[in-house]
Amino acid sequence: MKDIKRYSPVEFKVTPLKTENRDHWDVVMEYHNEGDGPWLVDLCHRTRLDLQTGNLDAKKPFGITIPATPGQSVLEKGMLVNRMNGIQSSIYHLAGDAIDMPKETEYTDVTESTVFLAIMGEAVFAICEKLSALDFMDKNRETPFLYQGPFSHVPCQIVTLSRDKEKSGVVLTCSRGYAKDMVDAILHAGEEFGLKPAGEKRVIDWISSL
């Protein structure tokens, strides 16, 4: 029996400098000539879970308290937990060692059915405003915070992790079938700002700085 092989739907036309094989994924840690930012990072290999239950407030995924208000998010120990509505939360594993799937039936692993990208760097919001009318810099909201809405005309979940100049960045997820068009749209929007693909190491360093 052949080993399981998992493939990201994201393809960057650049040469990897350093890669790792992790849980049957080929993960690019660094690319040649990543530049000084902004960057677009493929995180499709990172686990994403959907939690749905009528008793959401009683749940503590991975020991983390789910925010009380829809649109609020919390980042703890590399885990990003987002309150979507009264009965639903999305959970992104951004950094750290592999996690085990919770045994409760309320959790669904959506990793291989969705795209997961990070856009990082000082120009991130200038890039995002070309692709969405949502205000990812909303100063009336405490970071991190979640939007559920259109990004490049595609229904997405988008989380602003930081508005700080040097740490600015968002992560977004949408249906896997939109991967090519989404990546092409983001790279095109970011071309004037020097947006380049980058490896996972950029995100690990970014998360540790927040």
Q: In whole angstroms, how far apart are CA 198 and each of 16, 84, 103, 124?
A: 9, 29, 34, 14
End-to-end CA distance of the chain: 43
- pTM, two decimal places: 0.95
Q: What SS3 class is residue 150?
A: strand
Residues 6+ apart with CB under 8 A from 13: none
Q: Which of 148, 182, 178, 145 is nearest to 163 (CA)?
A: 145
pLDDT number for residue 116: 98
Whichever domain contains 209, its CATH number is 3.30.1360.120
Contact 80, 73 (CB under 8 A): yes
Q: How far is CA 50 from the centre of its chain?
A: 14
CA–CA distance, 12 with 14 (Å, rounded to integer)? 6
Range of the domain at 177: 1-210
- Residues 6+ away with beta carbon under 8 Å from 67: 73, 74, 81, 82, 83
- Say what the pLDDT of residue 1 is: 44
Q: Which pLDDT score is estimated for 3? A: 75
Mean pLDDT per 10-residue interval, the chain, length 210 residues: 83 94 94 94 98 96 97 96 98 94 95 97 96 96 97 98 94 97 98 97 94
As a 3-state breakdown, the chain gives helix, strand, coil percent values, each rounded to 5, of 20, 35, 40
- Domain total in the chain: 1
HEC string of 95-128 equals: CCCCCCCCCCCCEEECHHHEEEEEEECCCHHHHH
Backbone angles phi, psi at 112, to 5 degrees: -90, 5
- Alpha-carbon radius of gyration of the chain: 16
